[in-house]
Copies of this chain bind each other. A is one copy, B any other.
């Protein structure tokens, strides 16, 4: 069979439930980032856990979910005012939240014609070095908040911050050490702008600390599936990973303890972790169990990929159990990109589950 991305819905709903419970306990509004699963079907699973506001990464993804009845959507990518017509149209069917750190964007927003006034969060950069205004640049922040608050076309609400540097951690201790200075600065921000919303929290921090309760809202998304890199970061255990790629064994190479699977870069993406000796790898084989998968197999990993080819390096003992035509399960390095490449899922019973990327072009 061709490669298929399989969902274990028990694991996925347990992951959703765990974060929903944590947010309730901490008094946080969870607005899960749907860019990980990008699925209307999976999106609906969140509703039963009390989720009503969501986060997406593009205007077209916002439309996709708005058309499935989501009426409260944050687009967590700096607003692109060259697409105002699309944003105005979206504001007719959903309550948008936009983010920006650009005075020019605020000027352009002041001339927009929205049906429902979008909420606006100023994006602050919490020492991540990606988008947003430096969280310590108080003067720039005040200018932005003042200008945003004066706009008639949008409603200033507060701040959005993404600390992507937590992904560099390789243990819970690492992540906590990385996030600690961010949390201190968020406390300062909160004290300086009382009453402002703070939206903060990525999958590593939200999985590993209660101190995210400095935030008002949080939007981690990856934890719906988790993935191999999250086990390496320390955010989860392999048993929490809710998706795996089912691939057919094509050829066996006993001399080099390797085998070829159908499953390559267009299925997994080229996102990699690195071995202890600095070599990239693209996934980890898990034992087959029932109609799904179980524990990761020691020393069986996707050591190279090209467009459709995947080469698994493994132990002699494991290789001897395999035959051409067998199907194996591979835990992806980065579930968001793997799901985006695949454009769809099946559940353990073989039912199809939708994904936005198969319809977005």
Contacts and interface: CB of A to CB of B under 8 A. Distances in A.
A160 to B, nearest CB: 13
| Chain B CB within 10 A, most for which of A82, A101, A272, A357 | A82
A29 interface: no
Contact of A105 (B77, B271, B324): B324
A308 to B, nearest CB: 5
Given A270-B337, A340-B266, A102 B251 contact: yes
Interface stretch (A54-62, A175-183, A211-219, A286-294): A54-62
A296 interface: no
| Chain B CB within 10 A, most for which of A57, A164, A336 | A57
A7 to B, nearest CB: 15
Given A130-B311, A260-B130, A324 B102 contact: yes
A344 B358 CA distance: 12
A1 B83 contact: yes
A304 interface: yes
Contacts of A82: 1, 248, 325
Given A129-B256, A358-B361, A80 B306 contact: no
Contacts of A272: 270
Copies in the complex: 2
Nearest to A1: B82
Given A59-B2, A260-B78, A344-B361, A306 B129 contact: no
Interface string A299-328: 000001011110100000000000111000
Contacts of A104: 323-325
A2 B77 contact: no
Interface string A161-204: 00010000000000000000000000000000000000000000
25 contacts: A1-B83, A2-B58, A2-B83, A35-B308, A58-B308, A77-B262, A78-B250, A78-B251, A80-B262, A82-B325, A101-B251, A102-B250, A104-B323, A104-B324, A129-B256, A130-B311, A164-B306, A265-B271, A265-B337, A269-B270, A270-B337, A307-B336, A307-B340, A343-B361, A358-B361
A2 B60 contact: yes
A278 B130 CA distance: 20
A123 to B, nearest CB: 9
Interface string A324-353: 110000000000110011111000000000
Interface string A38-81: 00000000000000000001111000000000000000011011
Contacts of A361: 342-344, 355, 357-358
Contacts of A116: none
A131 B309 contact: yes
Interface in A205-234: none
A130 B308 contact: no
Interface in A237-262: 248, 250-251, 256, 260, 262
